[in-house]
Amino acid sequence: MSNVGRLIVTGKEIAFLFLVCSLAQCDSASIAVNTLIRRTHDLTLLLKQKTSCLLSTYLEQMGSPFSEPDFALPEVQLESLPPASIHYLVWRRLSDQERLTANYQAHGLFLEFLQLVMDDLQALGLSQGPGPLADQLTFARAQLEGLVSNVGSLLVAMGYQLPKLSDPLDSDSYGRTNFDRKVRGYIIIRELRDWLDRTERDFKLLSYAYPA
């Protein structure tokens, strides 16, 4: 198996994980809004990189047709996942609260869906022992928990209430064919990558409104 997407935890990434834990434990009101925005933007950039590697590793390990160079299913979506793409003017006119709420709710959903991908990996018999895909999924979910925590802290620091997170999955979600599981995992990771692109743009815009 190639080394594409192999998990390598650097000192910088360990520092990010320490930061995530620190933010989750402290009083959000005691952290300046611009500092929260900058740190969350940095964490999003790291997650974007890791999720792109995760998607490559996933496709490679699922075998044909997923591992084919031109594999793509752009028309296939999951109804319970909100699309990352919206019209530019709609996106540009979002209030700070709307922008943060959309990110908080979307990534809260992805936490649940990534757990489903991990469970599907086990059902496919691909999670036994250490390996790049299982490791990357575990690491990505831990980082995503940090991102959700950071966005929640930012909402509170700006005086907004935390929005409710929907619960789109039930036990029936586990009962799929192996091919369905593979397709679903691909869509979830692909859509997470696209959402992280949007999150990065959101926090870049917020950093202009709240400069350091």
DSSP 115-152: HHHHHHHHHTT--SS--HHHHHHHHHHHHHHHHHHHHH
Q: In this structure, what DSSP letter does residue 26 have? A: S
Of residues 96 and 172, more confidence is placed in: 96
pLDDT at 12 over 70: no
Residue 172 or 87, more confident: 87
Given a cut of 80, whether residue 25 has pLDDT beyond it is no
In this predicted structure, what is the pLDDT of residue 103? 98
Who has greater pLDDT, 29 or 174? 174
115 pLDDT above the threshold of 60: yes
pTM score, two decimals? 0.83
11-209: which CATH architecture?
Up-down Bundle (1.20)
Rg (CA), the chain: 17
Residue 118: partners with Cβ closer than 8 Å, 6 or more residues away: 127, 134, 137, 138, 141
So what's the pLDDT on residue 31?
Answer: 66
Residue 130: pLDDT band with limits 50, 70, 90 = low
pLDDT value, residue 37: 96
Strands, DSSP E only, in 18-108?
none
Q: Could you tell me the residue ranges of all domains in the chain?
A: 11-209
Average pLDDT over residues 120-144: 85
